[in-house]
Amino acid sequence: MVGTVIYKTTLKLATILAIMPMAASFAYAAPIEPDAIANATFQSWQQSKESKSGDETKKDGEQPVLEIDQQSGDVEAADTGEAKPDAAKIAVPGQPDAVVETPEQSTDVPDEAAAQVSANPEAEEQLDEAERKAANDEGDDKPAANEAEAEADPFLIRVQVLLDRAYTSPGEIDGMLGGNTRKAVAAYRAVNGLPAGDELDEQLWESLSQDTKSPIQTYELTAEDIEGPYFPDLPDDYAELAELDQIGYHNVTEMLAERFHMDEDLLKALNPDADFEKAGTEITVVAPGGAPEGEVTRILVDKAKGELRAYAGDAEEPVFVAPASIGSDDTPSPSGNVEVVAVVKDPTYTYNPEVNFKQGDNKEKMELPAGPNGPVGNVWIDLSKPTYGIHGTALPNLVSKSESHGCVRLTNWDVGRLAELVKAKDTKVEFVD
């Protein structure tokens, strides 16, 4: 919120999580065969899990290699020479987590937490803990940033695609059974009258697989895709950002990943030999869903679940559900009822140090251009509560895994879908604890 100040000596975990970049922090263990996704079933997934479980049991039952310490005579486990991973270390650039003053209102207030972390060695331990929590999503199968490889499951990719097409968004499609996927499963169960829970079982699969359309598709890169423009080295300084025409994607793979609701590394794993710099290149991508039909009259923002649910008319079940980052203890989202005031696509960000905060040496009011990697992403849905809104983000993999500065943050594609459903003055928004 406006006027929030975070001091070096009181830097909190929530602040670190809110600004910490974790995108594209690892590579998938091996290329993924498209047919494995298209042909994946619950039964094959169960068989695969049972096979892996058996291998792990066998491995656990093996006797350790022992050796005798020549000095003490003690028997101890031998050093097998396996390298131990280094502790996770990441840079924290001053990427803003702010939103727009469009129309003439601001939203999430940017802070200088990044600079404070770099200037405060005592924050090192908190930063490492925050990184592990964000990367693992409090139990996600996706590994922490210091783990070089991950193994995406073709069945889970298919499930995530089907959930996305059923308008119960799992967030970023990455083939991992993480918290956002489990929330999407729970939402799908509720919407479709299945027993409550977040587990994948045969009954869930039977319902999901009624959608028989392929979960993957072929896409041909166009000249426009290749040309961009792209911004591989976006500056941190606002004055430099203000000089750009837009705060665009870093590269073509980031753009394509967002277009198809995918993790960027998953896109590369599906296309290990693709030339992403050549028009006419055919690549494999997933086939996600669009926006449901109808007009949303009510939105429920569930702070406890980290979830947004959108309803049409008097329907008891939502027509669209998505994971969301919703406020924090220090900068909470509002409570009670508000309404949608306006929907702004490709919003700009107005920097005003007299209202919000002072960034670097910038003392003058300035306007930052629009763009998917801008402070508010691609869309800003303005709410009647001043300074609050629903908006996108440059870091889709942290949605619902980090905290916001009071607003409701969705992936760029989910807020884009929601924008097609809401109507100014007619859509009510309720925040619940």
pTM of the predicted model over 0.85: no
**What are the φ and ψ backbone dihedral angles of 116, each rounded to 5 degrees?**
-70, -40
CA atoms within 13 A on the CB side of 324: 33
pLDDT of residue 326: 86
**DSSP per position, 166-233:** TTB--SSB-S---HHHHHHHHHHHHHTTPPSSS---HHHHHHHTT--S-SEEEEEPPHHHHH----TT
Q: Considering the domain 8-19+95-212+291-432, what is its CATH architecture?
A: Beta Barrel (2.40)
pLDDT of residue 349: 82
pLDDT of residue 136: 46
pLDDT of residue 278: 97
Cα(257)–Cα(275) distance, rounded to whole angstroms? 15
- The number of beta carbons lying within 10 Å of the beta carbon of residue 242 is 18
Helix (H) or strand (E) holding 240: helix 238-242
Cα(406)–Cα(88) distance, rounded to whole angstroms? 28
Question: 125 vs 20, 334, 404, CA distance in Å?
Answer: 14, 31, 21
Cα(98)–Cα(376) distance, rounded to whole angstroms? 7
pLDDT of residue 131: 43
- The number of beta carbons lying within 10 Å of the beta carbon of residue 204 is 22
pLDDT of residue 77: 52
391 is catalytic: yes
Tokens 């994948």 correspond to what residue?
Answer: 200
**Which of the 8 DSSP states describes residue 396?**
G
pLDDT of residue 41: 96
pLDDT digit string, tens, across residues 211-253? 999 999 999 999 999 999 999 999 988 899 999 999 999 999 9
**Residue pair 140/178 in contact by the 8 Å Cβ criterion:** yes
- Stated length of the chain: 433
Cα(321)–Cα(279) distance, rounded to whole angstroms? 35
In the chain, domain spans: 8-19+95-212+291-432, 216-286
pLDDT < 70 stretches in the chain: 1-27, 29, 53-150, 327-335, 355-357, 402-406
Q: Which of 250, 261, 405, 407 is catalytic?
A: 407
405 is catalytic: no
